């Protein structure tokens, strides 16, 4: 009985910290990880500082202690084997029509949610908070996942963002003959400290309820909350150059 009380006390404290009612549905994490990456072959399971890349995401999700289940959506038997060896669930094989170069993230998450909704044992309902966590997110911390969930109470989606390193009002375009022109020439002489700061998607993870995921055409719904991250912990990993940059950043951050 004492042990049960301790567990319940910890659960209630966790709910309070996240502003969740004790009877709220337990969140689910879905990690999209297709096997057909062309620019970086097998990037989702390629070794990154001694671990398959996807392991960094699975460990962050596990360490956040937010989730009843960590589900990997993949079309690859190799990715599935690695994911299951790390404790993630792979309850279905993603269809080929959702694993090509033109598939958007929302459709992958909708498919996974639709599957889970049909499984009584999953405990997933339309009110369940669902976190889409990318497989190539080695800079995501468990605390990022945990504390960003708090913002979902007042939004349909939560998107981690980071600020641009240079004022976007001074961005320029280059013509075919190499000539430059400003997008916003009216700001050519405006002091940088007088320009509004701009943010972009950090490309690491997103929060939304199952209902929001299933009904949205875009993550930028009516109410979207931003969760700011420092620029030095944000890096897309889509190309070999991105991978090299991520390695250098990670080596500095982790002192390796």
- Sign of the torsion angle spanned by Cα atoms 11, 156, 198, 250: positive
At 151 the pLDDT is: 97
- In the chain (256 residues long), the average pLDDT of successive 10-residue segments reads 38 48 83 94 97 98 97 98 98 97 96 95 93 98 98 96 96 97 96 96 98 94 94 97 98 90
Count CB atoms within 10 A of the CB of residue 42: 16
pLDDT tens digits for range 43-58? 999 999 999 999 999 9
At 22 the pLDDT is: 58
CA dist 251 and 256 (Å) reads 5
Domain 24-172+194-254 has CATH 3.40.50.1390: no
Where along the chain do its domains lie? Answer: 24-172+194-254
User: Which residue is listed with tokens 């800079």?
Assistant: 139
- Contact yes or no for 52/82 (Cβ under 8 A): yes
């Amino acid at each position: 009985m004492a042990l049960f009380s301790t567990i319940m006390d910890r659960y209630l404290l966790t709910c309070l910290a996240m502003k969740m009612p004790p009877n709220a549905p337990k969140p689910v994490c879905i990690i999209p990880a297709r096997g057909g990456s062309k620019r970086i072959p097998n990037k989702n399971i390629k070794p990154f500082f001694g671990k398959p890349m996807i392991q960094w995401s699975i460990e962050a999700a596990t360490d956040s202690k937010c989730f009843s289940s960590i589900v990997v959506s993949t079309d690859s038997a190799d990715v599935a084997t690695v994911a299951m060896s790390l404790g993630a669930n792979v309850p279905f094989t993603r269809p080929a029509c959702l694993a090509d170069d033109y598939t958007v993230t929302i459709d992958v998450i909708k498919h996974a949610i639709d599957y889970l909704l049909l499984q009584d044992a999953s405990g997933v309902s339309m009110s369940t908070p669902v976190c889409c966590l990318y497989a190539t997110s080695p800079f995501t911390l468990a605390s990022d996942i945990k504390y960003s969930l708090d913002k979902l109470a007042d939004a349909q989606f939560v998107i981690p963002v980071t600020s641009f390193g240079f004022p976007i009002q001074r961005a320029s375009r280059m013509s075919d003959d190499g000539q430059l022109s400003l997008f916003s020439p009216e700001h050519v002489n405006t002091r940088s400290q007088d320009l509004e700061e701009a943010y972009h998607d950090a490309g690491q993870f997103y929060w939304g309820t199952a209902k929001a995921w299933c009904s949205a055409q875009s993550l930028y719904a009516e109410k979207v909350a931003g969760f700011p991250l420092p620029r030095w912990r944000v890096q897309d990993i889509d190309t070999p150059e991105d991978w090299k940059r991520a390695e250098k950043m990670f080596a500095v951050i982790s002192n390796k």
